[in-house]
Amino acid sequence: MSAFLAPEQAALKAKAREVAQDTVRARAAEVDRTEEYPWDHLETFKDAGFLGMTIPEAYGGQSKTWLDAVVVIEEMAKCCSIAGRIAVETNMGAVSAIMAYGSEEQKKMAADMVLAGDKPAICITEPEAGSDASGMTTRADKRGNQYVLNGKKHWITGGGVSRLHLIFAKVFDEQGNFEGVGGFLAIRDETEGLEIVKREPTMGLRGIPEAEIEFNDMQLPPSALVMPPRGLKKGFADLMTAYNSQRVGAGTVALGIMEGAYELAKDWTEEREQFGRPINEFQGVQWNLADMSIRIAAAQALIYKAAESGRDGFPDMVMAAQAKIYTSENAIQVVNEALQLFGARGYSRNLPLERMARDVRMFTIGGGTAEVLRNVVASGLLQKKLPQTRDGYSKLAARAAE
Ligand SMILES: Cc1cc2nc3c(=O)[nH]c(=O)nc-3n(C[C@H](O)[C@H](O)[C@H](O)COP(=O)(O)OP(=O)(O)OC[C@H]3O[C@@H](n4cnc5c(N)ncnc54)[C@H](O)[C@@H]3O)c2cc1C
């Protein structure tokens, strides 16, 4: 058990491990094969108290910390990546942005929906605006007492199963003046103009749909706008701080997957005999296991530290980025090595290693690529903006001269 955890957290982790091993693990291969969202896990989570744990008690949650959520996600992901991702998105990301910056009405609605089993979707990425989210073209035009949204998002996790959507759009006033990027809440099936267009055929993580979503003259009242304290102009940056929790969560799923793969491989090296002895009697295999365990210990320490940095708010941006980069990259490596230790069996769909290898590949991409997150880390270390556009530095210089 980790030295980082308080006794209650260690107990929560043990409970999550039991639930994951008793219920979740048995369905992991089927969820991958059928590509069907595991609604039954939502019931399991509800019964175990793992849904909306980080939601404040005042709204029906348990006011748990990010680290509490992390230990649950970690245990789920060891057995099933999809269960891990559901635990992330019902405790972090969109729901945490709403809890931090939403109106009373928005907080109550989001809490009720999540506690009843909805996994909210967060809609930022567009076909032409990925790493450069500020290049989004989805727009919300104020017309009378409504906002009218038009645009397209893609790779939206949960598109088609999520009901609550947090949608980022450029906001324009009645005169067509740009006011900033805003986050709007819309409920699928209750909002005309929100259309799930198609599902992506993904390499792994097949139990949650990744969807393209269109907004065609979708009308929303101003009360749908999540308004952070600094208003619309700087509000996007505020809303994105909530994404630091999601990044820690995504890193935790990668951590769980690599731990799961390592545990399987370690046991197998004792069981499998070649040349008349268990393969873990070969020094090459022993050092391999040692290196895997070092990567896991380092990744876990970074994730736990990043989670704890958010005790009084959201996790620190640099720590969350460092943790996600290190964990996602090393998880790919560890899963690959674990698969190798199984020989041909590792390549078979009869064992979970090939599924883990497909699933784990995502985490250096979604939620900010490892490259773009290195920019975030560097910017934090150097304590200055590092514009990526060709004219970015000249714009900064001009602003400084004003
Ligand atoms: C499974 C999955 C789930 C996702 N879920 C969601 C979701 O729920 N909501 C959502 O909004 N989005 C989601 N995404 C989208 C994800 O956030 C984006 O894929 C990601 O931000 C990268 O954008 P892109 O795919 O357009 O790649 P691009 O931005 O086109 O990048 C292509 C390559 O260029 C590199 N690159 C780009 N800019 C730079 C730079 N300045 N410096 C160095 N390298 C750079 C990137 O690192 C990458 O290797 C998801 C993606 C996946 C795969």
Query: How far is the centre of ligand 1, averaged over its atoms, from the C-alpha of 50 (Å)?
Result: 29
Q: For residue 178, what are the β-bridge partners?
A: 172
Q: Is 250 in the pocket of ligand 1 (CB under 6 A)?
A: no
**What would the pLDDT profile of 150-201 be if each residue is shown by its tens digit?**
999 999 999 999 999 999 999 999 999 999 999 999 999 999 999 999 999 9
pLDDT bin (cut points 50, 70, 90) of residue 396 is confident
CATH code of 7-115, in short, is 1.10.540.10
Give the pTM: 0.97
Q: Is 183 in the pocket of ligand 1 (CB under 6 A)?
A: no
**What would the pLDDT profile of 187-208 be if each residue is shown by its tens digit?**
999 999 999 999 999 999 999 9
Q: Is 387 in the pocket of ligand 1 (CB under 6 A)?
A: no
- The preferred substitution site among 188, 358, 369, 379 for testing ligand 1, maximizing ligand atoms within 8 Å of CB, is 369
Query: How far is the centre of ligand 1, averaged over its atoms, from the C-alpha of 135 (Å)?
Result: 13
Among 366, 370, 374, 376, smallest CA distance to 89 is for 366
Q: Are 259 and 296 in contact (CB under 8 A)?
A: yes
Q: Is 157 in the pocket of ligand 1 (CB under 6 A)?
A: yes
User: Which residue intervals of the chain bear CATH 1.10.540.10?
Assistant: 7-115
Range name among 98-107, 234-243, 269-278, 297-306 with the lowest pLDDT average: 234-243
The yes-or-no verdict on residue 1 having pLDDT over 70 is no
Region of 5 on the Ramachandran plot (φ > 0 left; ψ -120 to 50 alpha; else beta): beta
Query: How far is the centre of ligand 1, averaged over its atoms, from the C-alpha of 264 (Å)?
Result: 31
Question: What is the spatial distance between Cα 223 and Cα 342, in angstroms, rounded to a whole number?
Answer: 55
User: Which residue intervals of the chain bear CATH 1.20.140.10?
Assistant: 241-382
User: Which residue intervals of the chain bear CATH 2.40.110.10?
Assistant: 121-232
Which residue's alpha carbon is at the smallest distance from atom 48 of ligand 1? 369
Q: Is 209 in the pocket of ligand 1 (CB under 6 A)?
A: no
**What would the pLDDT profile of 308-334 be if each residue is shown by its tens digit?**
999 999 999 999 999 999 999 999 999
Class of the CATH-defined domain 121-232: mainly beta
CATH code of 241-382, in short, is 1.20.140.10
Per-chain mean pLDDT for the chain:
96
Question: What secondary structure, in 3-state letters, does the chain show?
Answer: CCCCCCHHHHHHHHHHHHHHHHHHHHHHHHHHHHCCCCHHHHHHHHHHCCCCCCCCHHHCCCCCCHHHHHHHHHHHHHHCHHHHHHHHHCCCCHHHHHHHHCCHHHHHHHHHHHHCCCCCEEECCECCECCCHHHCCCEEEEECCEEEEEEEEEEEECCCCCCEEEEEEEEECCCCCEEEEEEEEEECCCCCCEEEEEECCCCCCCCCCEEEEEEEEEEECHHHEECCCCHHHHHHHHHHHCHHHHHHHHHHHHHHHHHHHHHHHHHHHHHCEECCEEHHHCHHHHHHHHHHHHHHHHHHHHHHHHHHCCCCCCCCHHHHHHHHHHHHHHHHHHHHHHHHHCHHHHHCCCCCHHHHHHHHHHHHCCCCCHHHHHHHHHHHHHCCCCCCCCCHHHHHHHHHHC
**What would the pLDDT profile of 90-108 be if each residue is shown by its tens digit?**
999 999 999 999 999 999 9
Q: Is 371 in the pocket of ligand 1 (CB under 6 A)?
A: yes
The yes-or-no verdict on residue 118 having pLDDT over 70 is yes
**What would the pLDDT profile of 48-100 be if each residue is shown by its tens digit?**
999 999 999 999 999 999 999 999 999 999 999 999 999 999 999 999 999 99
113: Cα separation from own chain's centroid: 19
Q: Which atom of ligand 1 is nearest to the CA of 202?
A: 1
Q: Which atom of ligand 1 is nearest to the CA of 371?
A: 47
